[in-house]
Amino acid sequence: MSCPQAIADALSPLPSWQEGAIKTTIIDFVTDVTDPNNVNFVDPDDRIAVFDNDGTLWSEKPCYFQESFILHRQGSYANCFPEELGQETAPLTKEELIFTDTQLNYGITTDQYIQEANGFLNTANHPDFHRPYVELTFQPMVEFLQYLRDNGFQVYICSGGGIDFIRSFAEEAYGIPPQNVIGSAILSKFEIQEGNPVLVRVPLPVLPINNNAGKPVGLERYLGKRPIMAVGNSTGDLQMLQYTDDGQGQDLMMLVHHDDPNREYQYDEGAEDALQEAAQRGWSVISMKDDFIKVFAWE
Amino acid sequence: MSCPQAIADALSPLPSWQEGAIKTTIIDFVTDVTDPNNVNFVDPDDRIAVFDNDGTLWSEKPCYFQESFILHRQGSYANCFPEELGQETAPLTKEELIFTDTQLNYGITTDQYIQEANGFLNTANHPDFHRPYVELTFQPMVEFLQYLRDNGFQVYICSGGGIDFIRSFAEEAYGIPPQNVIGSAILSKFEIQEGNPVLVRVPLPVLPINNNAGKPVGLERYLGKRPIMAVGNSTGDLQMLQYTDDGQGQDLMMLVHHDDPNREYQYDEGAEDALQEAAQRGWSVISMKDDFIKVFAWE
């Protein structure tokens, strides 16, 4: 990065966000809760922001990327391509996805699973974008995460996706370390294999699946306190947003709206109830078309 | 605190620890992993220390303090006193304790449970020490936790005890916020009660119980990476120590040994296997009698 560019970025946070109401909402909120002289000041221990992953931090079409990984593990990655997927089978729901992964990827250590997933995400090409999946993170959201950390926030992922699947790439892609990832988990058991202490995946999910009403359960189990910011994109995030919007103190609830058919995808399916409640309760709706200067880093 | 005392403390970390091999081991380890020029330097994201709670950070006799709370909730707190407890019933094991608490304290919100537990720990008197339970934390260990945080460690509790029980007092007693507490959990369900989003306790434990081989499972589920330091006191901590002692990089494994019948208690029961493995593998054994200048803050 050139020096003038570095200075410009430092002066203007969130460079891939259009100036406008949404960017102002984010900056005003962060400014409020980090100013010790502001009545809305929040101590760093409580300055917790949670983000959904699929559809919020990266794409989720034509199917969840974890489904692509499952197809790869089954040796049928070709089925991932939309002309076949669209004609033959509907994409898996989050619950189907977790049960399928749980039944498929067991008996190996967590480290082995993570290595497999990381390798897949860095090498297999996405059927529409023809790029590795790790390149399909939303650049404005990556900046958002960094901006929050720069302001003393603890930033967590709270995803319906598999916790180990997300841990396999989240630190590299988002700067979010494994201990800040909450997701659907598989049971595991402790073993010492040839002197190495490891955890082996057992084909049973930890309940509940970390989606819909399971998200606040996961937040409480991992955090023991309510976030002050929650960002999602679908009805699977609705209860997480309701839980955050508890009427105590300053909160920010946001939905990423997929309304950009040219640069990404356009769809409301699976988000209808969340969008409706956002309108009723005044949650912020981020338009990918209007609020993102760029969607992907490589544009 | 007087100004000279404050300066003395700042110059000498761990003021309640006797000078000697154990204090030197702690300070040398922390100095090593925090010095960027040292080959053993560890990045702050990976600088994770985990502590057992019962018997490691506070006392666990004549029964686990969570058992005292259960007796209080059953209206039979008088049974907690050792002459009755010793003659009538053996103290509960960690597993019995968690199942009993799970069956007793359900149908209420997590917030209500935490409020009850916090009130109990701050007001009921311990049968031997005749002080509130929150005053039975080990002062040298509280200093140890703070010393680690001052050196950029992420400090977690990993306890077989109930996660909500520990969260009810850990921030006040140890400076450990709820999101850094790993423990045995109860299932919960999300509800909106009179407009308030809450979690209600369901009478089923989350498996496995976070003890023995369940501790590495909990560490992986919450952290997704191995700690570089683990401190316990009993065989319930053995697998946590084995998991930490993985032969990769610099690690520190420690056991608190209850060998001080005058200031606290003297016992090896429940710790025999851990003490034996500590001797074999060179883990550090902290003598409460010899290494602690004081055990409790109020001495």
> In this structure, what token pair is assigned to residue B53?
């709670």
- Give the pLDDT band of residue B79 (cuts 50, 70, 90): confident
Q: What CATH number does residue A23 fall under?
A: 3.40.50.1000
- Locus of tokens 């406008």: A20
Contact (Cβ atoms closer than 8 angstroms) between residue B293 and residue B263: no
Partners of B137 in beta bridges: B58
B4: cis peptide before it, omega within 30°? no
CA–CA distance, B224 with B222 (Å, rounded to integer): 6
Nearest alpha carbon to residue B225 among A221, A180, A271, A82: A180
Residues of B with Cβ-Cβ distance to A217 under 8 angstroms: 187-190, 199
Contact (Cβ atoms closer than 8 angstroms) between residue A193 and residue A131: no
DSSP SS3 for B65: helix
User: Is B247 close to A195, i.e. CB distance below 8 A?
Assistant: yes
Of A48, A178, A217, the CB nearest to B223: A178
CA–CA distance, A227 with B145 (Å, rounded to integer): 25
Amino acid A242: pLDDT: 98
| DSSP conformational letter for B213 | T
- Give the pLDDT band of residue B89 (cuts 50, 70, 90): confident
Q: Does A45 touch chain B (CB under 8 A)?
A: yes
Residues of A with Cβ-Cβ distance to B213 under 8 angstroms: 189-190
CA–CA distance, B274 with B288 (Å, rounded to integer): 16
**Position A6 in a domain:** no
Contact residues for B205 (Cβ-Cβ < 8 A; gap 6+): B98, B99, B102, B184, B185, B186, B187
Q: Select the residue from A207, A210, A215, A221 to test the B interface by mutation, using most B Cβ atoms within 10 A.
A: A221
**Position A9 in a domain:** no
Residues of B with Cβ-Cβ distance to A195 under 8 angstroms: 247
CA–CA distance, A49 with A51 (Å, rounded to integer): 7
Where helices occur in chain A by DSSP H, the ranges are 3-11, 21-34, 65-73, 82-88, 94-104, 110-123, 139-150, 163-167, 170-174, 214-223, 238-244, 272-281, 288-291
> Where does residue B83 rank: exposed (0-12), middle (13-18), buried (19+ CB within 10 A)?
exposed
Amino acid A113: pLDDT: 98
> In which domain, by residue range, is A162 found?
17-59+137-291
Nearest alpha carbon to residue A289 among A271, A267, A262: A262
**Position B234 in a domain:** yes
Query: What's the per-residue H, E or C state across A127-170?
Result: CCCCCEHHHHEEHHHHHHHHHHHHCCCEEEEEEEEEHHHHHCCH
**Position A8 in a domain:** no
CA–CA distance, A299 with A8 (Å, rounded to integer): 20
CA–CA distance, B185 with B197 (Å, rounded to integer): 20
**Position A126 in a domain:** no
> In this structure, what token pair is assigned to residue A50?
């949670």
Task: Tell me how close the Cα of A20 comes to any Cα of chain B, in angstroms.
Answer: 31
Q: What are phi and psi of B194, to 5 degrees?
A: 50, 45
Size of interface A-B (CB pairs under 8 A): 98
Which run of H or of E encompasses B152? Answer: none
User: Is B222 close to A217, i.e. CB distance below 8 A?
Assistant: no
Length of chain B: 299
**Position A285 in a domain:** yes
**Position A3 in a domain:** no
Which run of H or of E encompasses B219? Answer: helix B214-223
**Position A91 in a domain:** no
CA–CA distance, B75 with B85 (Å, rounded to integer): 15
Q: Does residue B196 register a pLDDT over 80? A: yes
Q: What are phi and psi of A178, to 5 degrees?
A: -50, -35
Q: What are phi and psi of B178, to 5 degrees?
A: -55, -35
Q: Does A106 touch chain B (CB under 8 A)?
A: no
Task: Summarize pLDDT for B229-268 with one digit per residue, the tens.
Answer: 999 999 999 999 999 998 888 899 999 999 999 999 999 9
Cα A67 to the center of its chain, rounded Å = 15
Contact (Cβ atoms closer than 8 angstroms) between residue B244 and residue B253: yes
- Locus of tokens 């544009």: A299
User: Is B45 close to A177, i.e. CB distance below 8 A?
Assistant: yes
CB interface of B with A, residues 117-156, below 8 Å: 154
User: Is B239 close to A190, i.e. CB distance below 8 A?
Assistant: yes
- Looking at the 3D structure of chain B, how many domains does it have? 1
Q: What are phi and psi of B208, to 5 degrees?
A: -75, 160
How many other C-beta atoms are found inside a 10 Å radius of the C-beta of residue B4? 8
CA–CA distance, B100 with B67 (Å, rounded to integer): 9
Mean pLDDT by runs of 10 across the 299 residues of chain A is 60 91 98 96 96 98 96 89 68 95 97 98 96 98 98 98 98 98 98 96 96 98 97 98 92 98 98 98 98 97
> In this structure, what token pair is assigned to residue B229?
């330091």
User: Is A167 close to B224, i.e. CB distance below 8 A?
Assistant: yes
User: Is B188 close to A213, i.e. CB distance below 8 A?
Assistant: no
> In this structure, what token pair is assigned to residue A113?
């699973």
| DSSP conformational letter for A109 | B
Q: Does residue B1 register a pLDDT over 60? A: no
